[in-house]
Amino acid sequence: MKSGLILWVRADNIEDSGERHRTVLESVQRGYSEIVVRKEDLDLTSAANFIPIVLDAGNILIEGRRVGRLLTVRSAEDMPGDDELEGEFLIVETGDWKVIPLENLIAQCSARKVKLIASVKSTSEARLFMQTLEKGVDGLLISPMSTSGLSEFTGIGEEHSKSFALEEAEVISVNQAGMGDRVCVDTCSLLELGEGMLIGSQSSVSFLVHSETLETRYVNSRPFRVNAGPVHSYIVLPDGKTGYLSELSSGREILAVRRDGSSRNVTVGRVKIERRPLLLVQAKAAGKECSIILQNAETVCLCSTKGVLPVTSVKKGDQVLVHIEHGGRHFGMKIDETIHER
């Protein structure tokens, strides 16, 4: 189950071996790929493809390597010092005292670059921990106690997906841009009407390019696809970074963004790069000029507050939806510096 949120399932605390094994297999079927198991259950990896995690004397082990620790917090005395936070992960279990220790640990772990994973037994706990200090925890350790308990957490990862502020940009020109290698991103999901991807020629401004969910008189709809633009274009990714369209490949996790700014994580199934005629759309938003290059085709659309606009019909004065960021990017990461891209 891919998500910006780390999702682990805990099966090692189920006493009945048969139920433990069923929980592991059901977890894999539901898309969870990282599961906490007992040492004697490690051979289940031969029956299902998942990453086994073992908790041994308070240590987190992945493939026999210690990657962090398990911490139980029931009072202020149980809180760790900064020098005790080491490793890649910290799993925290809390009793009735929940929010305050999580607030402190979120701040501590963020400063030490340790990923904080909260142990949860219900979706109400999960949602509370995902919202604590606005940032929330980095992940959840789900303890369902049985296979039936897993269904409660269906979709919990998508609730954590990022929301984007979208605003209108006014188109100032549309011109032919010659030929180029454009990228169709085919996902493993059916995309919805009003849903697409954030794409742009500048990392600071990205346009909401609509999916091919619309029926046209030219071709059938391909609701899994976004015809996203040339290979140089930026795409906004789930971890807050940007990547180039040329870097995408099967199995990569990307964002599908809706017109209201909400998003969900989807997986790339295929990337098609073909040489096609292009259009350059230039616009202005909040006094900032920006641009996007797209294939010159009726099936390629930009989003507006009122619907979708085929790029072949976009004209000067039209309003399209964009997402604006401040600062620059270095290797896809947001940094606070002045960068001009034209």
In angstroms, the Cα distances linking 160 to 100, 137, 138, 150 are: 21, 10, 10, 18
Domains of the chain (ranges; CATH) run: 6-159 (3.20.20.70), 167-335 (2.170.16)
Residue 84 has pLDDT above 80, yes or no: no
In the structure, what pLDDT confidence band is assigned to residue 65 with cuts at 50, 70 and 90? very high
Res. 122: pLDDT tops 60: yes
Percent of the chain scored above 90 by pLDDT?
51
- Per the listing, tokens 């849903």 go with 195
Beta-carbon contacts of residue 61 (< 8 Å; ≥ 6 apart): 53, 54, 55, 67
Q: How much is the mean pLDDT over the chain?
A: 85
User: Who's near 297: CB < 8 A, 6+ residues apart?
Assistant: 227, 276, 311, 312
Helix H or strand E encompassing 241: none
pTM of model > 0.85? no
Q: Which two tokens stand for residue 170?
A: 């006014």
Q: What percentage of the chain carries pLDDT values higher than 70?
A: 84
Q: Is the pLDDT of residue 71 over 90?
A: no
**What is the pairing mode between strands 6-10 and 139-142?**
parallel
Written as six digits, the tokens of 33 are 């790929």
pLDDT digits (tens, 9 = 90+) for 218-276: 788 999 999 999 999 999 998 678 999 999 999 998 999 999 998 888 899 999 999 99
Give the whole-angstrom CA distance, residue 202 versus residue 118: 37
Per-residue pLDDT tens digits for 303-321: 998 899 999 999 999 999 9
Determine the pLDDT at residue 331.
Answer: 40
Q: CB neighbours of 220 closer than 8 A, spacing ≥ 6? A: none
51: confidence class by pLDDT, cuts 50, 70, 90: very high
Whether residue 296 is predicted with pLDDT greater than 70 in this model: the reply is yes
Q: Look up residue 160 and give its two tokens.
A: 């954590």
Token pair in block for residue 41: 């259950």
